[in-house]
Amino acid sequence: MSQALIHAEGRVLAAIDASVYGRSVAGLAAWAASRLSAPLELLHTLERGQQPPMADLSGNLSLGGQELLLAQLADLDEQRSKLAQEHGRLLLEQVRSHLSDASGVAAKVLQRHGGLADSLLELEQGVRLFVVGKRGEHANFETGRLGGQLEYVLRAVHRPVLVASRAFKPPQRFLIAFDGGATTRRCVEIVCASPLLKGLACELLMVGEEGNAALREHLDWAEAQLEAAGFAPRASLVPGHPEAVIAREVGARGIDLLVMGAYGHSRIRTMILGSTTTQVLRSCPIPVLLLR
């Protein structure tokens, strides 16, 4: 299998925040870095907070009063910025220390100002794999929605993205959600070319009617590719709606990691939101590896 399919050089970059996903992201990233024999870096981003609205105070405050208030607000903003930086530094050091003690994995740390997606894009050239949490520290878990930053990240970056679930455990069995299209064919080829999942139990799932000869031909191709790469896939063609079938089969088969195609980069794909990817990310309580 051609190595041009994968980025064999570069580091694993994990986006760390103070959410409940932070420890899981770190553990999954350390696992991936070990299997890829790649360096690991932990990134924490500091987004600039919105400034409080400044009303027209000319009728209520003297000129001196306005200047004093503005100075106090500026001082407060600077203090908040310094506290946020220190909090981020301590968070990164805590996670780095935990990984060193728990798994013997050494990691570098990096803190940057700006949005997560923009930071990942700027750093992408030297990255082999991104690892992020399903939701960030400010997400509303009761809605069941994905974190807004995650969808933005998945549409923006070009490298593979490993999306962590709430709890980490080393994956033992993975499932490839396959539909026969160009994107999922490439997913199969990337899995075959990369050391990330070598030696793990492999399941191959296609959603469609069992008697469909064209679908069976696509599935046979994927099975043959995986077998040639040393996997022993169990291939299945299951009827139903993709989102429901994938979520059900993940639970029934004891899958630890789901592999599927990511969103496209085109403007039209961005507008229609790639519903299968979004729905599966919402419903599956396991890590998801998204490939292009």
Distances (CA, A) of 145 to 104, 223, 265, 292: 35, 34, 21, 23
Helix count and strand count (H, E) for the chain? 9, 10
Rounded distance between C-alpha atoms, residue 108 and residue 92, angstroms: 9
Rounded distance between C-alpha atoms, residue 128 and residue 135, angstroms: 22
What's residue 278's pLDDT? 81
Task: Answer yes or no: is pLDDT of 277 > 70.
Answer: yes
Task: Answer yes or no: is pLDDT of 286 > 50.
Answer: yes
Rounded distance between C-alpha atoms, residue 225 and residue 140, angstroms: 41
Q: What is the mean pLDDT of residues 63-87?
A: 79
Q: Read off the pLDDT band of 9 (50, 70, 90).
A: confident
What's residue 182's pLDDT? 92
Reading the block at residue 263, the tokens are 């969103």
Reading the block at residue 170, the tokens are 């080393």
Q: Comparing 292 with 114, which gets the higher pLDDT?
A: 114
Give residue-wise pLDDT tens across range 219-251: 999 999 999 999 999 999 999 999 899 999 999
Indicate the residue type of 87.
H
Task: Answer yes or no: is pLDDT of 147 > 50.
Answer: yes
Q: If you average pLDDT over every residue of the chain, what do you get? A: 85
Q: What is the mean pLDDT of residues 70-74?
A: 77
- Report the 10 Å Cβ neighbour count for 59: 5
CB contact set of 250 (below 8 Å; sequence gap of 6+)? 175, 258, 284, 286
Reading the block at residue 50, the tokens are 């919105």
Q: Comparing 49 with 6, which gets the higher pLDDT?
A: 6
Q: What is the DSSP letter of 37?
A: T
Q: What is the mean pLDDT of residues 129-147?
A: 64
Q: What is the DSSP letter of 126?
A: G
**Could you tell me which of 133, 130, 141 has the C-alpha nearest to residue 12?**
130
- Can you name the residues that pair with 129 across neighbouring β-strands? 12
Distances (CA, A) of 241 to 53, 119, 160, 195, 288: 48, 36, 25, 31, 19
- Can you name the residues that pair with 261 across neighbouring β-strands? 291
What is the H or E stretch that residue 111 is in? Answer: strand 107-113
What's residue 137's pLDDT? 53
User: For residues 192 and 32, is the Cβ–Cβ distance under 8 A?
Assistant: no
Q: What is the DSSP letter of 52?
A: P
Task: Answer yes or no: is pLDDT of 140 > 60.
Answer: no
- Domains of the chain plus CATH, in order, are 10-50+65-170 (3.40.50.12370), 171-285 (3.40.50.620)
Distances (CA, A) of 170 to 4, 17, 129, 211: 27, 21, 17, 36
Give residue-wise pLDDT tens across range 84-103: 889 999 999 999 999 999 88
